[in-house]
Amino acid sequence: MKIGVCVKVAPDTDTRIKISGDGAGIEESGIKWIVSPYDSFGIEEAVQTQEAQGGEVILFSAGPKDWQTQLRAGGLAVGAERAVIVDDPALAGTDPLGIARVLAAGIASEGCELVFTGKQAIDDDNVQVPAMVAELLGWPHVSFVTDFSTDGSTFTATRNVGGGTQEVVTGSLPVVITAERGLNTPRYAKLPAIMKAKRKKVDVKSLGDLDLSADDITPAVQLTNFSLPPERPAGRKLEGDVDTMVQELVRLLREEAKVI
Amino acid sequence: MSGILVIAEHEGGSFKKTAAELLGKATELAAALGTTVSAAVLGDAPATELGAFGASKVYQVPGDFSSYDTDRVVAGLQAALEAASPDAVLASASFLGKDAMPRLVARLGGGQASECTELRVDGGTLVGRRPLYAGKAFADARITRSPAVFTVRPNSFGQPEAGSGGAEVVEVSAELPEPRITLVEQKTPERDDVDLSEAERIVSGGRSLKSEDNFDSVVRPLAKSLGATAGASRAAVDAGYAPHGDQVGQTGKTVNPQLYIALGISGAIQHLAGMRTSKVIVAVNTDPDAPIFEHATYGLVADLFEVAPKLQAAFESLD
Ligand SMILES: Cc1cc2nc3c(=O)[nH]c(=O)nc-3n(C[C@H](O)[C@H](O)[C@H](O)COP(=O)(O)OP(=O)(O)OC[C@H]3O[C@@H](n4cnc5c(N)ncnc54)[C@H](O)[C@@H]3O)c2cc1C
Ligand SMILES: Nc1ncnc2c1ncn2[C@@H]1O[C@H](COP(=O)(O)O)[C@@H](O)[C@H]1O
């Protein structure tokens, strides 16, 4: 079975974001780039599935070919077999549906039967691409999955549907599964595997290689006017012993902030 | 094409709070645009009630939506959208908003701006302001193809006052597909608090709680005394003091309450990412230099084990 994983490379979670001078985006210099953390859960689940069922794990990325550094360290070194990166200038300005078109075309061209993604990318926080990929492929999808198993033709998944409620669902492959925290604990790469990953195959493709053109991924969503979060009004440290502080806090919450 | 369509979610026939919240905002935006507000409702619910919050028409799709099935929800909403052909669609960034809306957008070839915390009219169109990088940056989103879907983070806008009008209900029939996914079991936790992502008050505990017992005897009762939901830092979750689902932060839940009380939480950037839009933040920490104090509306440099019981007693004695 060919198992696909959609992998995005994003700024490390402890990055302090700076806005570029023109407000058109963020300052990218000096950022440490990592595999988006939820995608690591997707990679781990794909590798575990491959270990149980056989087959091959293929990583798919729509982004610059430089992402191969992170794909090797965070994917090929932990059990994925190879990676396909679609790199094209038109990708920089596209939107989630454009990205989904590219990923779906890549997945279809490899004939995958099961695809894992992260539940959300930690840079744009869209929570859109996986459901869109599934729609374009004509497959069902299951969102926010914390437990997964498959026998190679059917699957069982547990999903978080909000309010702390979990649902156990079943269905047939093919399917897109979006990984939620708790699905598994991603393994660390061992040194020999890291060395071996350097020789694994990374195919860099253009839109044309997938029979797509820039027109197919014209964005419908435009982001402008980037800024840092609004400053919070300066906070106040309360004074006195614990009893005094508690009393004062309750008063402030009632009378000043009016939230209780 | 005209108007703003609100996806009004309900649970077994009672509309969720977000339905009124979105209709209230839609009414304000529609006035600025000189257009009208309608709503889409799947299944059995008292649709005419939505008139009280400003919907002039409700497109109601009959059918069994009692258990959530993505394909059926998408097909139902597609029918409602085709009947309404709105300029813009507002939906909550709920499970449905995250699971079904992008699928619908892909089917119809439109665009979506996720988790907006502000909506405004600019140059005759709707603009959503939304957090990115886990709230470390914000940007304006404009959508140039139809359907233009804006999902909204719960509690971003206030609850509108209910008016008196009823809405005209238009029944829209949809061909609902056979489900491809089968529900086997639903596990609902035995708790009476509100989901973190929708909670208006949250009390969170960190690593400093030191044990699950302490978490259960200090954080949860304090939360309860306020009608709040309990949350946790990742350090507390990783140490097993609280379940995964309670984690607030960049790789946990994003929350947007009126009041967020952080007990013994240092304020790491990944934690702040999940709660920095809270209206009021209270921090209790023994370390006066803890980064959380830079973001706290009210800070108490104190031992949480001393503060929590006293605060709880004070909350319990409020009328
Ligand atoms: C990829 C990645 C993703 C992450 N995602 C998240 C996330 O989603 N959410 C999250 O929370 N973290 C996340 N983290 C972890 C984050 O970096 C911090 O490690 C974590 O938030 C720290 O939790 P804490 O504040 O409980 O613990 P600590 O940082 O250890 O802080 C404990 C605090 O308690 C105070 N204290 C001690 N005793 C007392 C007492 N008796 N009374 C009062 N105060 C006391 C201390 O002064 C200290 O400030 C992530 C990290 C990484 C690398
Ligand atoms: N450019 C991309 N390349 C590969 N996978 C992506 C890309 N963008 C999004 N994804 C996948 O879709 C998931 C959700 O992303 P998003 O919808 O952007 O929040 C991510 O966790 C990835 O698995």
Structural domains of chain A ordered from first start: 2-217 (3.40.50.620), 232-260 (no CATH)
Distance between B77 CA and the closest CA of chain A, angstroms = 15
Structure confidence at residue A163 as a pLDDT band (50, 70, 90): confident
> Does the pLDDT value for residue B202 go beyond 90?
yes
Q: How far apart are CA B306 and CA B286, in angstroms?
A: 11
Angle ∠(B315,B317,B319) on CA atoms, nearest 5: 95
Distances from the Cα of B212 to the Cαs of A188, B244, B268, in angstroms?
A: 28, 13, 21
Look at B300 and A232 and tell me if their CB atoms are within 8 Å: no
Q: How far apart are CA B129 and CA B49, in angstroms?
A: 29
The predicted model gives B55-80 an average pLDDT of: 97
Bridge partners of B301, per DSSP, are B285
CA-based nearest residue to B177, from B100, B76, B81: B76
Q: How far apart are CA B4 and CA B202, in angstroms?
A: 32
CA-based nearest residue to B279, from B213, B199, B161, B215: B199
Name which residue sits closest to atom 4 of ligand 2, judged by CA. Answer: A61
The predicted model gives A105-132 an average pLDDT of: 98
- Taking residue B279's Cβ as centre, other Cβ atoms within 10 Å add up to 16
Cβ atoms of residues A71 and A59 within 8 Å: yes
Residue among A26, A168, A169 minimizing CB distance to B137: A26
The DSSP secondary-structure symbol of B253 reads B
- Taking residue B166's Cβ as centre, other Cβ atoms within 10 Å add up to 16
Domain span(s) for CATH 3.40.50.620 in chain B: 4-171
- Six-digit token string for B120: 């405004």
pLDDT of A231: 82
Q: Which chain B residue shows the shortest CA-CA distance from A251? A: B314
Ligand nearest to the CA of B99: 2
Cβ A6 under 6 angstroms from ligand 2? yes
pLDDT tens-digit readout, B82-117: 999 999 999 999 999 999 999 999 999 999 999 999
Distances from the Cα of A161 to the Cαs of A251, B61, B178, B225, in angstroms?
A: 37, 22, 20, 27
CA-based nearest residue to B299, from A239, A38, A51, A99: A239
Residue among B102, B194, B276 minimizing CB distance to A132: B102
Q: How far apart are CA A160 and CA A166, in angstroms?
A: 5
- Six-digit token string for B6: 């609100």
Residues 6+ apart with CB under 8 A from A179: A38, A39, A41, A42, A45, A116, A117, A118, A119, A145
For testing contact with chain A, the best of B67, B73, B74, B95 (most A CBs within 10 A): B95
Please count the residues of chain B: 319
φ/ψ (deg, to 5) at A205: -115, 160
The DSSP secondary-structure symbol of A252 reads I
Domain span(s) for CATH 3.40.50.1220 in chain B: 196-317
Residue type, B184: V
> Does the pLDDT value for residue B193 go beyond 90?
no
Residue type, A200: K
Token look-up 């985006």 returns A25
Interface membership of B124 toward A (CB under 8 Å): no
pLDDT tens-digit readout, B269-308: 999 999 999 999 999 999 999 999 999 999 999 999 999 9
Pick the CATH number of B196-317 from 3.60.20.10, 3.40.50.920, 1.10.8.50, 3.40.50.1220: 3.40.50.1220
For B282, the enclosing helix (H) or strand (E) is: strand B280-285
> Cα B26 from chain centroid?
16
B29: helix, coil or strand? Answer: helix
Structure confidence at residue B1 as a pLDDT band (50, 70, 90): low
Interface membership of B158 toward A (CB under 8 Å): no
CA-based nearest residue to B281, from B304, B258, B308: B258
φ/ψ (deg, to 5) at B208: -65, -10
Q: What is the ipTM of this complex?
A: 0.94
- Please state, for a pLDDT cut of 90, what percent of chain A lies above it: 96
B4-171 homologous superfamily = HUPs (3.40.50.620)
Q: Which chain A residue shows the shortest CA-CA distance from B199? A: A163
> Does the pLDDT value for residue B21 go beyond 70?
yes
Residue among A132, A172, A223 minimizing CB distance to B103: A132
Interface membership of B122 toward A (CB under 8 Å): no
